[in-house]
Amino acid sequence: MAGRKVLIVYAHQEPKSLNGSLKSIAVEELSKQGCSITVSDLYAMQFEPRATRNDIVGCLHNSEEFNYGVETWEAYKRGSLSSDLVEEQKKVQEADLLIFQFPLYWFSMPAIMKGWMDRVLVQGFAHEFPNCYDSGLLKDKLALFSFTTGGSKEMYAKGGISGDIRYLLWPMQHGIMHFCGVKVLAPHICFAPEYVSEEKRKEMLIAWAQRLKTLWNEEPINCSPEWYFK
Amino acid sequence: MAGRKVLIVYAHQEPKSLNGSLKSIAVEELSKQGCSITVSDLYAMQFEPRATRNDIVGCLHNSEEFNYGVETWEAYKRGSLSSDLVEEQKKVQEADLLIFQFPLYWFSMPAIMKGWMDRVLVQGFAHEFPNCYDSGLLKDKLALFSFTTGGSKEMYAKGGISGDIRYLLWPMQHGIMHFCGVKVLAPHICFAPEYVSEEKRKEMLIAWAQRLKTLWNEEPINCSPEWYFK
């Protein structure tokens, strides 16, 4: 949809990877629709994942006992968060849709992307009690988790050895995005691309491009325990 | 139990924090029992959470297209993983029990600890298909997740707004530890220490010390979907 803004937070080391291609296809397809796209290419940016005192410029609120949550909240209010965080927060603020593109590492996102969540979505900016979940500060935004797995679809089926893939989406979709008020579109999952044919991988790319064509018509999922654990 | 070896992987920036105290109590109590304790203090070590080409010393297996999983597996086999990873793997190899001590960040561990999982538990060392889950390469070891939360026990109850706390343990306990063959002891959770009295916080520390006294008698949990989502 022309005019819509999309932030793609992308975590893969290799541009030639399937994740790299999925990211490029999203840029291409959404640009064609007239959207404006920003990509945070975390590895290329050498994005810092560690939550430390360096995230606060100048003096601390309480230098006797460092509390990251309190310090970043206070720093947000007085405009003294480190510039890399401010930059990411601006991108989030402007976006209508956040796409997270990554390979699944240990039933979750890679540490570099978890660090983006830990450091960017600070209290005051993304949530501020009681403004969380449905009244989170990032409401009116959409998010979509797009990722590749090592395990097969069968391993991630209900009753499969790795359990229903939805089980592992709970912390990311409910615990992070829903907590900030963001509405979540159905995840986009490419199962075990390393173990399929080149042709099958091409089909995965085509399927993603196809989905993006009508993405703006999709309804968010119902982000309740029933969706995950039914 | 005299002679047992324990590795504590600890992720908090502030030694005076409750997490810092919980870590110190574990060192003290387990030392008293005659265990030998190693602590990986991730922030103090400035542990690198990003999974990059730097984790492989020398030439790559395939320099045309970088694949982190394949490259670290190959590097493990030929002994060319970076020294910080080898150091952590030695600690894991020697340990009978791994304790992970951290504040819950976004329904999961802080990025610096996720990076420890991503980088240390490489294929060949911790798992190697079909040696995963019950036959993972780290079987005969125990793990325990000990963490503090921001939200209250009520928020993390079944039917609470944040869902049963067990939902978010699935990726960490099943997806990581069980996958590597490690048996998991019941988690140790201190709910919302920031919002309780100093006296209540002291009780939390005493409860942890008490539990540690009989820890070696505990049976691992039954790491199946029923435990998490029943």
Q: How far apart are CA B141 and CA A42, in angstroms?
A: 34
**pLDDT tens readout for residues B111-147:** 999 999 999 999 999 999 899 999 999 999 999 999 9
Helix (H, G, I), strand (E, B) or coil at B89: helix
Contact flag A118-B106 (C-beta cutoff 8 Å):
yes
Report cis status (omega within 30 of 0) of the bond before B130: yes
8 Å CB contact of B49 and A51? no
B16 — contact with chain A (CB < 8 Å)? Answer: yes
Interface of B with A in 77-106 (CB under 8 A): 105-106
Rounded mean pLDDT, A102-125: 98
Nearest CB to A175; choose among B68, B107, B110: B107
Q: What is the mean pLDDT of chain A?
A: 97
pLDDT of residue A1: 76
Q: Give the mean model confidence (pLDDT) for residues B144-172.
A: 97
Say yes or no to pLDDT of B46 above 90.
Answer: yes
Per-residue DSSP letters for B170-198? IIIIIIIIGGGT-EEPPPEEE--GGGS-H
Put simply, the answer to whether B68 touches A229 (Cβ < 8 Å) is no
- Mean of the pLDDT values across residues A56-74? 97
Whole-model pTM? 0.98
Q: Which residues of A touch B117 (CB under 8 A)?
A: 105-106, 111
Distances (CA, A) of A186 to A137, A193, B38: 21, 20, 43
- Say yes or no for a CB contact (<8 Å) between A163 and B150: no
DSSP assignment of B122-179:
-BTTTBBTTB-GGG-TTTT-EEEEEEE-SS-TTTTSTTSTT--HHHHHIIIIIIIIGG
Percent of chain B residues topping a pLDDT of 70: 100
Q: Does A46 touch chain B (CB under 8 A)?
A: yes
How do residues A76-97 score in pLDDT, each as one tens digit? 999 999 999 999 999 999 999 9
Closest to B11 in 3D by CA, of B150, B170, B86, B117: B117
Tell me which residue of B145, B174, B111 sits closest to B19, measured CA to CA.
Answer: B145
Q: Quick check: A44 pLDDT over 80?
A: yes
d(CA B112, CA A60): 22
pLDDT tens per residue across span A9-41: 999 999 999 999 999 999 999 999 999 999 999
pLDDT for position B1: 76
Name the B residues in 122-181 with CB < 8 Å from any A CB. Answer: 133, 150, 161-164, 167-168, 170-172, 174-176, 179
- Report the pLDDT value the prediction gives residue B59, as an integer from 0 to 100: 96
Contact B50 A49 (CB under 8 A): yes
Using a CB-CB distance cutoff of 8 angstroms, which residues of chain B are in contact with residue A117? 105-106, 111
What is d(CA A131, CA A139) in angstroms, rounded to the nearest whole number?
A: 10
Q: From A108, which residue of chain B is nearest by alpha-carbon distance? A: B171
Q: How far is A230 from chain B (nearest CA, A)?
A: 9
Q: How many CB pairs under 8 A join A and B?
A: 151
What does R_g of chain B's alpha carbons equal in angstroms? 18
Residue B86 confidence (pLDDT): 98
| CB contact (8 A) between residue B170 and residue A163 | yes
Q: Which residues of B touch A53 (CB under 8 A)?
A: 13
ipTM of the shown complex: 0.98
Other CB atoms within 10 Å distance of the CB of residue A62: 10
pLDDT digits (tens, 9 = 90+) for B68-87: 999 999 999 999 999 999 99
Asked whether residue B230 carries a pLDDT value surpassing 90, the answer given is no
